[in-house]
Amino acid sequence: MPRIIGQRIMLREFRLSDKDSLMEWVNDPDVVGTLSDNFLLPRSDSAIESWIKGNMERESDKEAHFVVADRETERYIGQIDFHVIDWKNRSARIGLVIGAPGARGKGYGSEALRTLSDYAFRFMNLHRVDLLVREDNLSAIKCYERCGFVEEGRMRQAIYRDGRYLDMIVMSVLSGETATG
């Protein structure tokens, strides 16, 4: 996929030089504590480098991984992914993290989500984009709602964290709805 340009950000390919930026957050409990179970265990420099290389070498029409980068400097801010692209049913599942220290809470996540959703609808001819979010990740839920996503269901007690079960909320936006405003 090509680079996708937003107002302040660009969605670009991964580079080996992104490794240090990923290492700033991938073992930070404040960041990974809100994410999926993929981040239960600490990650080493070599594991992150291998993961980046895998993303750089992988060619698939079922998933796509982008760095959320500053538009001017191309500096890593976070990442946004199509974890599953279903071409037959014209849908995709998105995952998003703004990991760079100092970049959270500044609207980069909203812009990345709007930019990728717009691209999905206008250029990929998708009809539906969805995501999963933990019920206690209130800042993410507000971000997703600002981008036009609506709660459509819950996976009850689907994730276990800190001694309790939490719901995973399924949120989506359709091509006819506003996700770019």
Confidence at residue 1, expressed as pLDDT on a 0 to 100 scale? 56
Measure the CA dihedral 168/169/170/174, to 10°: -160
Is residue 91 in some structural domain?
yes
Confidence at residue 149, expressed as pLDDT on a 0 to 100 scale? 97
Q: Please count the CA atoms within 13 angstroms of the CA of 119 that sit on its side-chain side.
A: 21
pTM over 0.85: yes
Is residue 62 in some structural domain?
yes
Q: Residue 85's closest CA among 40, 33, 130?
A: 130
Domain that holds residue 111: 4-126
Is residue 37 in some structural domain?
yes
Is residue 142 in some structural domain?
no
Is residue 69 in some structural domain?
yes
Give the count of domains, the chain.
1
Question: Consecutive sets of 10 residues in the chain, 181 residues long: mean pLDDT of each?
Answer: 89 94 87 76 88 84 93 96 95 94 92 96 96 94 96 96 94 82 47
Is residue 157 in some structural domain?
no
Q: Is-contact 152 170, C-beta < 8 A?
A: yes
Q: Residue 25's closest CA among 11, 43, 13?
A: 43
* Interatomic CA distance for residues 76 and 24, integer angstroms: 11
* Interatomic CA distance for residues 149 and 178, integer angstroms: 9
The CATH number of whichever domain residue 59 belongs to comes to 3.40.630.30
3-state secondary structure of 86: strand
Confidence at residue 33, expressed as pLDDT on a 0 to 100 scale? 79
Is residue 159 in some structural domain?
no
Q: Is-contact 68 11, C-beta < 8 A?
A: yes
